[in-house]
Amino acid sequence: MEIQLTRFLCETRFQGQPMGTRHFAKVCEALSSADQGETIHLDFGGAEVLTGSWISAMLIQLLRWAANPEIELFFVLCNIQDNDFIDELGYVANHARVVFLVASGNASSASAIVVGPLEPGQRETLSAVVKAGQVTGAELERLYSASSVKATAWNNRLKDLHNKRLLKRNKLGREQVYRPVVPEISCDG
């Protein structure tokens, strides 16, 4: 599903907490028809302003809402070419300890960058999942047997990355199988 925010919200300036709160409610309503586990592309094409207060009131609340097991949605932000917008997303993400997936281009993009803080172990795990395409914690232990990281630690990292909305998961027998939200994910630095 794709939501072109400037068209859907009839705005080009995304600023302020009150506006962000109103937009959060509208976007949640639009997402009521989304399937559980679906990836939602939020298209910022045509946006002129994007402020931290709007990001906090809208995007961070949206991420928290989407992580609810009954809702279980994933987001990729698209068409954010303005470096100031990326900087603002990064500032808010670091402060709130969340991450955003930002696509390199439009909604059809198969690659994205992570904007926000990831611990070194989480970065290592994300890279391993992207390389494998789909994996379990036990498989990561086997693939990286030279590492001192055991399956339980891999599983904890995988769960953390899922909670951050970077990995999707499904149950296969007794194991959780994880895969990236988009095929190629890299960290912003």
Mean pLDDT by 10 residues, the chain (189 residues): 95 96 96 93 94 97 93 94 89 95 78 93 94 92 84 92 94 89 83
The residues near 161 (Cβ < 8 Å, ≥ 6 apart) are 122, 125, 126, 129, 167, 178
Q: What is the pTM of this model?
A: 0.91
- What digits encode the pLDDT tens for the residues 39-53? 999 999 999 999 999
> pLDDT at position 23, please?
97
DSSP the chain: -EEEHHHHHT-SEE-SHHHHHHHHHHHHHHGGGSPTT-EEEEE-TT--EE-HHHIIIIIIHHHHHHTSTTT--EEEEE----HHHHHHHHHHHHHHT--EEEESSSTT-SEEEEES---HHHHHHHHHHHHHSSB-HHHHHHHTTTSS--HHHHHHHHHHHHHTTSEEEEEETTEEEEEESSSEEEE--
Residue-level pLDDT at 188: 60
